[in-house]
Structure 1
Amino acid sequence: MISYLWERIKRPIDPALFCFILVIFALSAGLLYSASNRDLDRVTDKVVFMGISLGVLWFVANIQQRTLMQLALPAYVGGVILLIAVEFFGITSHGATRWLNIGITRIQPSEIMRIALPLMVAWFFNQYQNSLNWRHFLIATLIILVPVALILKQPDLGTSLLVASSGFYILFFAGLSWRILAVMAVAIAIGAYTVTHWDLCINILHEYQCRRIATMLNPMEDPLGAGYHIIQGTIAIGSGGLLGKGWLAGTQTHLDFIPERTTDFIFAVYGEEFGLVGNIVLLIIYLAVIFRGLMIANNASTLFGRLLAGAISMNFFTYALVNMGMVTGMLPVVGVPLPLISYGGTSMVSILAGFGILMSIQRDRPLMKG
């Protein structure tokens, strides 16, 4: 009986990806213990979130690809409806309206779109895989822009970037023309120039978003206000040196200089305590996760699986890039957690659900590629 249950549990699990996740979880628990000033209650909460997330991973990994395809359209439409509902019935907190009260709890519909959007776009391309042309890419772009625009309106720049990037990766892996990519690169360059000039930026983005960009460019203009997060984050990482100050020995951390040190800025804690060597080790682990995901994408049996696995893998890369970029002052502070390490359950569940999809795609791969 026990052997049967064990076989049933491990059947959908990809061993390599699962081991990488466990290593990150172990690192996360130890780091959170230090970042929270040895708060065991917070570490316990994190462990509970880990267990729930692993349960979600296992459940999703047992869903077959054809079922995922059937869920794509309902998930996308349902997610868009919830985002529209946020506009009318949403809960406002800290100047942003991002949550819905459904009675027993609050939900953040934009988190649903992190999975629903790539599902939808991958399903759409799979329907027309033998006759793809520019019209299909145009329709797919519109599919992406609808939820991204709704999330931006909340406003939630960080989540909108993650959702938009997941859609872009699908377009890229589906064979988006290099000419279009060149045009997009020029548009991004123009947009970057625009938002880095206050008079232009204020006509496009919210004032607080423009202030974040201005702070990124020169945090010393307001060292005790808007620039405080970036300054303290870079000081902590720089003070870690090559080998770091050691676990539980970070002075910037334990003297309470680092803000949001258990959530968005936990990478600053890690850099201070484990130094450049520790940062490189973390990057290697993250790259191993991404590489494994791209291998699964390469071996997928359907276009749907290849596009979806590729987008999920690269979106994990985007998570890490944006968080590390904002903590080190290379990107604006947009409230994106360090994937699987920051305290909090919502992003962890969505990431592990994505990894569950990767394992589902891996399980359905052909035995031989001919």
Structure 2
Amino acid sequence: MNMTGNFDRTISQEDVLKRRASLLQRLHIDGILLLLLVTLACAGLFILYSASGKNWELLYKQASSFAIGLAAMLVIAQIEPRFMARWVPLAYLGGLLLLVWVELFGYTAMGATRWIHIPGVMRFQPSELMKIIMPMTIAWYLARHNLPPRLKHIAISLVLIGMPVVLIAKQPDLGTSLLILAAGVFVLFVGGLRWRWMLGALAAAVPLAVALWTFYMHDYQKRRVLTFLDPENDPLGAGWNIIQSKAAIGSGGVWGKGWLQGTQSHLDFLPESHTDFIIAVLGEEFGMVGIAILLLLYLLLIARGLMITAQAQTLFGKLLAGSLTLTFFVYVFVNIGMVSGLLPVVGVPLPFISLGGTSLVTLLSSFGILMAIHTHRKWIAQV
């Protein structure tokens, strides 16, 4: 009698789990991704409150951007990847036209022309849209051919990548252009790019870097590279940010000074403390433990993205999911690397933590695509 009751109870629990899984599946929501994203966003608001000097206006702005991004993510998750693929060429052409519009009629701020300004409505960066459109375009193109890609297909892919990259670099926005370049190249990598071609590309990068330095890079970009090599050479000028950032992280120790107790940011020693250098605030106030917890959340998010990539049932979905996940990894790696002095400063925000509405909406939209790839596939089992 007891054995039968236990068996019935077990079956009942399994039925409940299946119903829950089926509900998430019907809503096209990946519960693990959603939980990690909300946790990161809440942590970001918590840190931003301190980094911004208790500025409720910035906090409200960031929370509003997250709400908009979350809504966009849930809407995008309802779209079948096959339907997305049909509109990729049109989206790519539209993105290029917007970048050309920025080049001709764009809004200029702080010496850069990166925005389209619609009076009384909004101001936005078309380059942020290309962070999603670029990997979708290359995934759409490669999915129509046999893999690994042949030299002809690689060349065409590089042309498709190069046009928006050049337009964005001219704004100038070197950090975003490099991220978009990486997003496109990652699709080639996931598609099985041969190692000899990757090694050849690395060899070609040396003369290309020399040419960029000599003929293309602006003076402030050159100063960033020189500061990366020797920040103490100009401690009160170009090297100030890196020196203060490392001082803030080091002063936090293992456990940190406590929330709202940081000195480098609250006494205005650390510039851009609520944007590019916000992890220095985290390190100072919560120490090595706080940074380790944040990195664990990022690691779990990346691992989930790679699992979705492995389970994708279409070539387009696999290429796109892999590229979006690896690009997110680059976001995290570049920001932490530049703040700690391991990479040059290129103006890449820390995902979900740094202040930035357009960037936040773009990131959440990319995770909406991951959810669509994962939840629109044919399930063999519901748990």
TM-score of the superposition, structure 2-length normalised? Answer: 0.90
Map of 1:98 onto structure 2:
114
Say which of 151, 166, 175 aligns to 2:192: 175
Contact 2:309 2:318 in 1 (8 A): yes
Pick one of 151, 154, 161 that aligns with 2:168: 151
Q: 1:117 Cα deviation (Å)?
A: 0.7
1:329 aligns with 2:341: yes
Is contact 2:124–2:358 with CA below 8 Å preserved after alignment?
no
Structure 2 stretches of 5 or more lacking a match? Answer: 1-18
Separation in 1, partners of 2:338, 2:204: 22
**Is 2:68 aligned against 1:72?**
no
Give the equivalent residue in structure 2 for 1:129.
146
Does residue 367 of structure 1 match 2:379? yes
CA distance in 1, matches of 2:205, 2:252: 34
User: In the alignment, which residue of structure 2 is the partner of 1:184?
Assistant: 201
Question: Number of residues paired by the alignment?
Answer: 361
Moved more, 90-99 or 51-60: 90-99
Q: What is the rounded CA distance, in whole Å, between the counterparts of 1:366 and 1:182 in structure 2?
A: 38
3-state SS, counterpart of residue 114 of structure 2: strand
| Aligned equivalent of 1:62 | 78
The 5 Å alignment of 1:217-366 reads 217-366=229-378
Once the two structures are superposed, what CA deviation does each residue of 1:320-369 show, in whole Å capped at 9, x if it has no partner? 11111111111121111100111121000000000000000001223249
Whole-angstrom distance in 1 between the partners of 2:237 and 2:283: 23
Whether the 8 Å contact between 2:25 and 2:375 is mirrored in structure 1 is no
Q: Percent identical across equivalent pairs? A: 47
The counterpart of 1:114, out of the listed 131, 136, 143, is: 131
Answer yes or no: is the 8 Å Cα contact 1:53–1:348 preserved in 2: yes
Alignment CA distance shift 1:131-1:188 (3 Å): closer
How far did 1:23 drift? 1.0
Contact 2:224 2:345 in 1 (8 A): yes
Taking a change above 3 Å as real, the CA distance of residues 62 and 217 of structure 1, as seen in their structure-2 partners, is: same
- For 1:33 and 1:62, the matched residues in 2 are separated by 33
Residue 81 (structure 1) aligns with: 97
Instruction: Return the offset for 1:202.
Output: 3.8
2:131 is aligned with what amino acid?
R
2:213 equivalent in structure 1: 201
Range with bigger deviation, 129-138 or 20-29: 129-138
Aligned with 1:100: secondary structure?
A: strand
Q: CA deviation at 1:189?
A: 4.8
Which shows bigger deviation, 31-40 or 311-320?
A: 31-40
The letter for the 1-side match of 2:328 is F
Return closer, same or farther for 1:8/1:284 CA change in 2, 3 Å cut-off: closer
What runs of 5+ residues in structure 1 fail to find an aligned partner?
Answer: none
* CA positional deviation for 1:305: 0.2
The structure number with the bigger radius of gyration is: 2
Amino acid at match of 1:329: G
Supply the distance in 1 between the matched residues of 2:73 and 2:246 (Cα, whole angstroms). Answer: 34
**In 2, Cα distance between the equivalents of 1:95 and 1:10?**
48
> How far apart are the structure 2 equivalents of 1:310 and 1:137?
18
| Shift, 1:101, TM fit | 2.1
Partner of 2:4: none
Query: Which residue is equivalent to 1:22?
Result: 38
